[in-house]
Structure formats: structure tokens, C-alpha cells
Amino acid sequence: MSMNGEYLRLIPAELDRALKDPEWALDLAAEIQDAQEEHQPAPNEAWHFTTHQTWDLLGFLLRRSAFPVDIVHGEEPLAGDDWGYGPPRYLTPDRVRLAADTLHQTTYDQLIRGVDPSELAEAEIYPRIWDSPTSLEWARDLFTPLTEFFQGAASTGHAVLIWLD
């Protein structure tokens, strides 16, 4: 079974409700994921987004670049049950805005510049496929849509829930 990075946009009132009722938030996430399977909106309009299995690589690259927001694991805990591989965490609208602004100024080439795949193997970055320089390209196709997802959330003042499933 694979581990996937998952994101859910919430309006501030929904975040308030999720903080009080994490089960409601889990149900909302499932509803939105199901709805988006039928209609796949552009990332900047999506309410749900996934980085699939690239989450750990992206996290490594972003930490290495001193990215100011933890957009891979979230920053604030949401009480409640495990949503797959631990409970979800969230980013407030202000942190989403900072993440979106910083992502907009960051290129994937900047993130991978100077990274040797052996560093990923040594750090035991999931899913341990780091046997060639081309393996660094694996998350490139998801970096721009992730940026667009955060820009869409920031432009409307949304918070973001983040979890591994």
C-alpha cells in the first residue's frame, strides 16, 4: 500500500467546525474526493489535491531550501483519529498565503539544484527509488499543480488540511 500526500481546502468557518468535529471533516474530505473523481477541476479551483507518493521528496526538497511553511505535513494538529498515517494537520489562511507566495517564487529547478540522489537514499526518503539522477524529476509534474492549488486557496482566504493516506 502506498502513502499519498492529501490536501483539502476549507473556508475559515469549515476549519472552525473541523477543529470542533474532526469526524465531520473526514466525512467532508471523502465527499469532496468522491465528487472530484467525476469532475476534475483545475488545481487552482480544486478543493482536494494529492501529491501522491511524491510528498516525502517534496518535503525533503522544501526543507532543504528553508521553505517557511510545512506544506507537506501541515503545522497545526487537528485532534481526532488517524486519517491513514496519523491525524491531519492544517495551515491557517495566513500560512496558506505565505506558502502560495513563496511557491510562486520557487521553481522546481531551484529545489533540485545541487541535490544528489544519494542524499535522498541516505535520508530514507519514501518511496526509496533514488538510484539515478533522473529520479529527482519524479515530482516535477506535481510541483506546478501544487503551487496552483495553494494559489487558489490563498486567493480565496482558505485554510488547508493536510494528511498522509
The pLDDT tens digits for 79-121 are 878 999 999 999 999 999 999 999 999 999 999 999 999 999 9
Using pLDDT thresholds of 50, 70 and 90, give the confidence band for residue 162.
very high
At 143 the pLDDT is: 97
At 132 the pLDDT is: 86
pLDDT tens column, 9-49: 999 999 999 999 999 999 999 999 999 988 899 999 999 99
Cα distance between residue 10 and residue 119, in whole Å: 35
Which cell goes with 59? 518535503
